[in-house]
Structure 1
């Protein structure tokens, strides 16, 4: 799936509270951050991640990125989470197979999933959080492609301020 075709949505806390829409949260499958890897593997992984430009569809839970992917020409760089970064991927899922549900419904399902995971990851409900939630959701033109049903949830500091480390259990 190309980043240009993947729909993106950024949800500022005030907009979410006002609109009363749904959202998401989640975390690393094993809870390990890049700094918890063995020292040899950690050095190699950190160097590989520093220069890895990816599409939104390539993102995985536990990765941290320098770009939100919302620009017309996104440059999503995966970097170690112990370095300053814009967003952290905290949950991913695939929408159910079948006929494309439509843009509005795909968006609604992504919001519901992401908001449903947010409190478990951060430690507070999204409506009470100072953090920003962003998610990517499927578009019809790529629905049948590999990864074309992906929903990717990201969390970041308010106002795009970089954060260092994970936001898991930050209660912000």
Structure 2
């Protein structure tokens, strides 16, 4: 006979010990909470719904978003979590959405960091730290003005310099024979690597302008040494190392230096200093001749000719502005007039568009200095008790000796 009593052994029945579709069983780990049943006036077991565990992908997405370890990973984990939550009906969308939001923000910041100039300084410090951590560093790292060094890997034949890459530099005593002496060091501006050509141009200009501050009298320097420089490579730049080094090298390739080339500016009187300061700027402008043939970069040679003309004018003005004494006064006035006179020959270089015409005028400008100015330069140097022994320059040096002031 049928009965209304539930079968305690039928699966799905509350009395069977298994949860039914309408009455879930107690949460794992403890008995059901007891509550008062007002309908029958007594107390009866009242099952409660246990809180389900959070989706593991949702938790992973939230953790990834908070920690920002790999920003895009949080987005991926969040999407996986949402798909799983929708299928199972769980209620832990919050952690997944929060993780996705944080990861999206982190991803956006990461993109901005690597694509805008705003993050350059931080990015540079990061790359520099990575370079230091890997043990890599520029070969000139640690070299400072007054340091002397050897370059053991330098080629014996100067013809091999075109393909030579500096791989090793060893510090050396300036009193012993050595390959070079540092007279300047500076860091190029932060930013993206501008290219080897631009880096060389900036370093070349900076180094030539500072030869006279380290060794004021070019007549004591030229013939004995020439200036050289070590710009940062693209690999150095990627590590955050933008330092460039200026150094003196032996005038004759393959020779070695002995003793320091630094000259003590404090030993000069005010007239000597005034002349050497003015002449140093002009000599530096002459030395900035472009390193490539005129046929390749005529425009750069035109700019250089205009630059030299400008410094000839400044040299003449500096001579007039200083209060010379004794026999030096008329000599300085005469030299100022001569410098103004030859300036026009250098100004013509900036206006010549034909390579052959430029080279012909270049020779005229040089010869004019040698013929019209060199004698007065030597006479004024004699009066100021500066070096009067005109240096013998080599084929690797510019300006040649007759152009030195």
TM-score (norm 2): 0.26
Which residue number corresponds to residue 213 of structure 2? 120
Deviations 1:75-100 (A, max 9, x none): 42211111111110110000000121
Deviations 1:9-36 (A, max 9, x none): xxxxxxxxxxxxxxxxxxxxxxxxxxxx
Of the three residues 141, 155, 161, the one matched with 1:57 is: 141
1:143 equivalent to 2:237? Answer yes
1:169 corresponding residue in structure 2 = 263
Q: Is the 8 A contact 2:215 2:263 kept in 1?
A: yes
In structure 2, stretches of 5+ residues that fail to align are: 1-137, 156-163, 265-386, 392-405
3-state SS, counterpart of residue 56 of structure 1: coil
Q: Which structure exhibits the higher relative contact order, with contacts defined as CA atoms closer than 8 Å and separated by 6 or more residues?
A: 1
Distance 1:125 1:112, change over 3 A: farther
Give the whole-Å Cα distance in 2 for the aligned partners of 1:149 and 1:55: 12
- More strand, by proportion: 1
Write out per-residue CA displacement over residues 121-166 of structure 1, whole angstroms, 9 at most, x where no aligned residue: 122459x8222211111222331314x2111011022114222221
Q: CA RMSD in A?
A: 2.8
Alignment of 1:26-45 (within 5 A): none
Q: Which residue of 1 aligns with 2:98?
A: none
- Relative distance call for 1:68 and 1:102 in structure 2 (3 A) is farther
Cα pair 2:222 2:251 within 8 Å, conserved: no
Judge conservation of contact 1:57–1:152 (CA < 8 Å) in 2: no
Structure 2 contact 146–262 (Cα < 8 Å) conserved: no
Q: Indicate which of 247, 253, 256 corresponds to 1:154.
A: 247
Which has the larger helix fraction? 2
Equivalents in 2 of 1:93, 1:66: separation in Å? 20
In the alignment, structure 1 segments of 5+ residues that lack a partner are 1-53
Question: Is this contact kept in 1: 2:147–2:182, CA < 8 A?
Answer: yes
Give CA deviations for 1:82-121 in whole Å, capped at 9, x if unaligned.
1111110110000000121211110000001100111121
Distance in 1 (alpha carbons) for counterparts of 2:236 and 2:169: 20
TM-score, scaled to structure 1: 0.58
Please name the residue that 1:85 is paired with: 178
Select the residue among 58, 63, 66 that pairs with 2:150: 66
- SS of the aligned residue for 1:143 comes to helix
Partner deviation per Cα, 1:28-79 (whole Å, 9 max, x = no partner):
xxxxxxxxxxxxxxxxxxxxxxxxxx92233222111122764557442211
Task: Answer yes or no: is the 8 Å Cα contact 1:56–1:69 preserved in 2.
Answer: no
